[in-house]
A and B are shown apart, each in its own frame.
Chain A
Amino acid sequence: MGTDRWVVKFAAREPERFDPEAHIPVFHRWIQQKTLPLVLIDVADYAHVKDGPGVLLVSHEYNIFADRFDGKAGLTVQRKLRGGAGAVSLADTLRVGLLAVQALTAESSLPGSRFHVDRVEVVANDRLRAPNDAEGWAATQPALQDVARKLYDGSARVEREATNSGQRLTAHIGGNVDDAGALLKKIQG
């Protein structure tokens, strides 16, 4: 039994230009216009916290952060929904993330919000079903490989990141595709 709780992060292409606070009006407009296929609720400003969540777009299903978690600028998507454990929920999380990446890329007011999609950080946000140890890795790796192959075909890579005890099980998936639209087609198709 795998986890259904995932966090994925797309690193900013130009971290020095990335400005979490600039996302506040954009995220509010997304709520008005229902830009993402989610129950969008509110925007929370955590820009005052160093290396933190930045600006959060809260939805029922996901938290979407224009963030600087761990000092790294990027777009983080945290799945809150239950069910569809393993590759199914991971693929769904990546789908929502890629939709958000695409939508931000289309925002002319956010020239710094462009993201790499050829290498995605994936965190198993579940210390029960995916503990940060060998057993947890064994339980999680198949879902990561399954989804990586689906997205990146033969160039797919899955690498576990060495993290401290207490931190969550973390990996990177990636391949030779760096276009959100192309990846979305694969994951939706």
Chain B
Amino acid sequence: MSETSWREKLADRIPAQWRDEIDAFENQMELRKQRKIEERVFAEVRLRRGAYGQRYDNGRRHDGLATQDLAFPQKGLTKGPDTEWDAPGMQRIKIPFGRMSAEQLEAIAECAEEYSDAILHVTTRQDVQLHYVHIEDSADLQRRLAAVGVTTREACGNSVRNVTGCPLAGICRDEAFDISPYAKAETFFLLGHRDVQDFGRKFKIAYSGCEQYSCGLVTIHDLGFVARTRVVDGREERGFRVVVGGGLGPVPHIAKDLYEFLPEAEMLPLSQAVSRVYARLGEKKNRNKARIKFLVAKLGIDEFRRLVEEERKVLEADPRWSEWLATAHESTIEHLPEPASDGSAKPAPGFEDWRRTNAYPQRQAGFVAVSITLPLGDLTSEQGRAVAGLIRRFTRDALRTTVEQNLILRWVHEQDLVAVYNELARIGLNIPGAASIVDVTTCPGTDTCKLGVASSRGLAAEVRTRLYARQLELDADLRDLRIKISGCPNSCGQHHVADIGFYGSSRNVGPYRVPHFQVILGGEWQNNGGSYGLALGAVPSKRIPETVDLLLKSYMEGRTNGEKFRDWVGRTGKKAVKDLLNPLTPVPSHDARPDFYVDWHDVREYTIGDIGVGECAGEVVSLTEFSLVEAESLAFDASVLLDDEQVVHRADQASELAFQAMVRAAQGLLKLEDVDVKVDAKVVLPLFRERFLDNERFFDRFVGRQESGYLLAAAENGTKVRDLDEAHRRVEEAQLFIEACHACYARMMESKTAGGALGRLGA
């Protein structure tokens, strides 16, 4: 063979700038191998190329019996602090507003096959991720994608992440107009732009064509655009409602309105101005306070708007602001394909059920969009190639990924629907129930994410399997509900905006750890993610399927005529719902039910540390845990106060109660030090600072000082809040602080146990 490298073979097919960037990245890899680039710097370089760390990338793994060193060959060579060079990593691939051509899908499938494990994983940000990739394969992988117009640039890191957008854009029956060209213009205007290179944290942008549905989820984004039109002097003008400062993460914020109507021509300069304000004034040192939502909350939306407008005035005019507008209003009608089949095919079994849930009649008569349900967001390379074949055969339009981890094939002639279904059945992708209760969303959790606390994918697979088995008997009102699961509080599974959400946590029971999930109810998926749910308390992971069943049954029995699930939760009240779940919270003893101490789809004794599980440390454990349970109870009471949104003064009460919960938890941890003091912030805080913060024993290596900051800020600034939103956040923060206390307690107990074992061995 004459070709020696992808670099040479594809040189002419990659845009010059992209080619140079990938070449530079490859050079930087070489320099890092020679230790000529500092590892922290290389880590950010790598992340901005979308090459992310995975679980066990510190070279250690608990195998169920002991922590083993993973003997990677290039020991000591790292690609970031604590990240071994040879550890397999994740490659994130940006899919702007989820749009992929057949050629692009094929290229990703080929890369998955050759560099990964033949699985394409669609994420809740419409990206595609490949797992178990060696960093030295990443440059060629990126070249092969760049050759078909796909970039991984700024897919991770402190940069503008993938711009998401409604996958029905252009065919939607409810949209004001097609947001696709706008999202595309935004993507490529900001990609690598000099004004977005100095952020303290990541920055997420979303586009929605309508207000009422959830396809765009703009309110959970740093910057969001909702399509709107208005008539001026008899002419229709396009523009956007613009929101800023939303975001999930451990403490979610609903985005605030920046403009009710921003003319379309102002979209890019406005984005640039917002970026500059964020880069200049956003937090840089404390990454846990660095998202733009904290800046907006700190300044207030009016002051933030004033700063953006000042910035806008001094921007140097850029021809790229308007170049794209010339084609933004073009219709795709003229590109319609002819039917590919004569419509006489006999459907494979299950067609009618599938059509009911997975076929969306487009606003263009005679056409349907087809949802391709992906279990846990996964498809194989072979399925990817087959779907690319469907794109080519049945539609000249591109595919879209969705935030619910599915694919949407658009512009399918109704006449071809059976043929498309039969082809999907052939490759095992004719799964009904898209965007319904059986279509459970989940982040990777402990499967591959190093932040994962519990197995979100294992749980999702279990819940999904059980619901599928009975989906035909499910009431129509249940089918529309959403279940979303995250492996940790960081919300990658978007659990806050689900009807029923879960996030992973752990609890100590005697000397053991038990995987749990916090139950989140009351979130709103519609209205672009209109409101966030609150935690009701943790349930053992193995009882979550029962929890789902119980919630659904109770709703069906207790709802009034036509009452939605969210409204039923609100009317019933968190306390009553929690009482309902209480029987599911006890953990049986290890001897009686050892399966409770093993996570879903795993066989190892559950642990999130690499130290191992040893003997019980004695009564001190129960005293501390007693305090933590009390703290949880207080935090829950605070959340109950927020049920009655009409009583504004309850916001302050809830905030105060949330603070007391944190103080109670801190006091509980002090008991581990044999310090038993009354629950008084003035007494507890100095001791807590001295014993746990100054020596950094409290800090988790990933989240650092974030949770302790909630306690200190509340102590310093007082518990008076401006509104219910802020009170809502205080309660979330208290919950997170208590989770952190649980984690700190577990780490300390494991250290004590390990120390004890070593001591005995030494004796």
* Interface contact B70-A41, CB-CB below 8 Å: yes
* Complex: chain B residue closest to A45, CB-CB: B601
* Interface contact B114-A28, CB-CB below 8 Å: no
Task: Across the A-B interface, give the 7 residue pairs with the lowest CB-CB distance, nearest first.
Answer: A50-B428, A48-B375, A25-B603, A52-B380, A32-B63, A45-B601, A28-B603
* Interface contact B382-A49, CB-CB below 8 Å: no
Tell yes or no: A112 within 8 A of B by CB: no
Which residues of A (67-101) have their CB < 8 Å from a CB of B? 69-70, 78, 80, 82
Among A32, A49, A127, A167, chain B packs the most CB atoms within 10 A around the CB of A49
Of B1, B113, B117, B464, the contact of A168 (CB 8 Å cutoff): B113
* Complex: chain B residue closest to A1, CB-CB: B1
Tell yes or no: A58 within 8 A of B by CB: yes
**Complex CA distance for A82 and B134, rounded to whole angstroms:** 11
Which residues of A (99-138) have their CB < 8 Å from a CB of B? 125-131, 135-136
Given A41-B61, A69-B382, are A28 and B1 neighbors across the interface (CB < 8 Å)?
A: no
B763: chain A residues within 8 A (beta carbon) = none
**Complex CA distance for A136 and B3, rounded to whole angstroms:** 11
A41: chain B residues within 8 A (beta carbon) = 56, 61, 70, 88
Tell yes or no: A60 within 8 A of B by CB: yes
User: Which of these binds chain A: B4-12, B208-216, B501-509?
Assistant: B4-12
**30 A-B pairs with C-beta separation under 8 A:** A24-B602, A24-B603, A31-B63, A32-B64, A39-B72, A41-B56, A41-B88, A44-B132, A44-B447, A45-B447, A45-B601, A48-B376, A48-B464, A49-B383, A49-B428, A50-B383, A51-B427, A52-B119, A53-B119, A53-B380, A63-B117, A69-B118, A69-B380, A127-B114, A128-B3, A129-B1, A130-B1, A166-B106, A166-B110, A167-B385
Tell yes or no: B86 within 8 A of A by CB: yes
* Complex: chain B residue closest to A63, CB-CB: B117
A83 to chain B, nearest CB (A): 12
* Interface contact A39-B71, CB-CB below 8 Å: yes
| Chain B interface, number of residues (Cβ within 8 angstroms) | 51
B483: chain A residues within 8 A (beta carbon) = none
* Interface contact A49-B119, CB-CB below 8 Å: yes
Tell yes or no: B604 within 8 A of A by CB: yes
* Interface contact A48-B56, CB-CB below 8 Å: no
Cβ contacts B369-403/A at 8 Å (1 or 0 each): 00000011011101101000000000000000000
**Complex CA distance for A41 and B84, rounded to whole angstroms:** 13
Cβ contacts B388-427/A at 8 Å (1 or 0 each): 0000000000000000000000000000000000000001
B438 to chain A, nearest CB (A): 13
* Interface contact B88-A125, CB-CB below 8 Å: no
A31: chain B residues within 8 A (beta carbon) = 61, 63, 68
B447: chain A residues within 8 A (beta carbon) = 44-45
A51: chain B residues within 8 A (beta carbon) = 380, 382-383, 427-428
* Interface contact B1-A60, CB-CB below 8 Å: no
* Interface contact B119-A28, CB-CB below 8 Å: no
Tell yes or no: B65 within 8 A of A by CB: yes
* Interface contact A5-B1, CB-CB below 8 Å: no
**Is the interface on chain A under 10, 10 to 19, 20 to 34, or 35 or more residues?**
35 or more
* Complex: chain B residue closest to A123, CB-CB: B113
Tell yes or no: B55 within 8 A of A by CB: yes
* Interface contact A42-B55, CB-CB below 8 Å: yes
Given A28-B64, A49-B375, A126-B114, are A80 and B3 neighbors across the interface (CB < 8 Å)?
A: no
Tell yes or no: B461 within 8 A of A by CB: yes
Given A39-B70, A45-B458, are A53 and B117 neighbors across the interface (CB < 8 Å)?
A: yes
* Complex: chain B residue closest to A52, CB-CB: B380
B229 to chain A, nearest CB (A): 43
A127 to chain B, nearest CB (A): 6
**Complex CA distance for A65 and B380, rounded to whole angstroms:** 13
* Complex: chain B residue closest to A28, CB-CB: B603
* Complex: chain B residue closest to A168, CB-CB: B113
Given A39-B71, A80-B134, A128-B9, are A49 and B378 neighbors across the interface (CB < 8 Å)?
A: yes
A60 to chain B, nearest CB (A): 6
A159 to chain B, nearest CB (A): 21
* Interface contact A24-B601, CB-CB below 8 Å: yes
* Interface contact A125-B113, CB-CB below 8 Å: yes
* Complex: chain A residue closest to B457, CB-CB: A45
B603: chain A residues within 8 A (beta carbon) = 24-25, 28
Residues of A bordering B, CB below 8 Å = 1, 5, 24-25, 28, 31-32, 39, 41-42, 44-46, 48-53, 56, 58, 60, 63, 65, 69-70, 78, 80, 82, 125-131, 135-136, 139, 166-168
B79 to chain A, nearest CB (A): 14
**Complex CA distance for A128 and B1, rounded to whole angstroms:** 9
Which residues of B (444-458) have their CB < 8 Å from a CB of A? 447-448, 457-458
Tell yes or no: B234 within 8 A of A by CB: no
A127: chain B residues within 8 A (beta carbon) = 110, 114
**Complex CA distance for A5 and B86, rounded to whole angstroms:** 17
A49: chain B residues within 8 A (beta carbon) = 119, 375, 378-380, 383, 428
* Interface contact A60-B72, CB-CB below 8 Å: yes
Tell yes or no: B73 within 8 A of A by CB: yes
Which residues of B (95-142) have their CB < 8 Å from a CB of A? 106, 110, 113-114, 117-119, 131-132, 134, 136
B397 to chain A, nearest CB (A): 20
* Interface contact A46-B604, CB-CB below 8 Å: no
A136: chain B residues within 8 A (beta carbon) = 1
B604: chain A residues within 8 A (beta carbon) = 28
* Interface contact B117-A56, CB-CB below 8 Å: yes
A26 to chain B, nearest CB (A): 9
Of A39, A63, A126, A131, the contact of B132 (CB 8 Å cutoff): A63
B117 to chain A, nearest CB (A): 6
B375 to chain A, nearest CB (A): 4
* Interface contact A48-B461, CB-CB below 8 Å: yes
Given A48-B375, A49-B378, are A42 and B1 neighbors across the interface (CB < 8 Å)?
A: no
A63: chain B residues within 8 A (beta carbon) = 117, 132
* Interface contact B378-A60, CB-CB below 8 Å: no
* Complex: chain B residue closest to A30, CB-CB: B63
A128: chain B residues within 8 A (beta carbon) = 1, 3, 5-6, 9
**Complex CA distance for A24 and B383, rounded to whole angstroms:** 24
**Complex CA distance for A49 and B56, rounded to whole angstroms:** 24
B136: chain A residues within 8 A (beta carbon) = 82
* Complex: chain A residue closest to B379, CB-CB: A49
* Complex: chain B residue closest to A127, CB-CB: B110
B63: chain A residues within 8 A (beta carbon) = 28, 31-32
**Complex CA distance for A45 and B604, rounded to whole angstroms:** 14
A44: chain B residues within 8 A (beta carbon) = 117, 131-132, 447-448
Among B86, B118, B382, chain A packs the most CB atoms within 10 A around the CB of B118
Which residues of B (631-686) have their CB < 8 Å from a CB of A? none
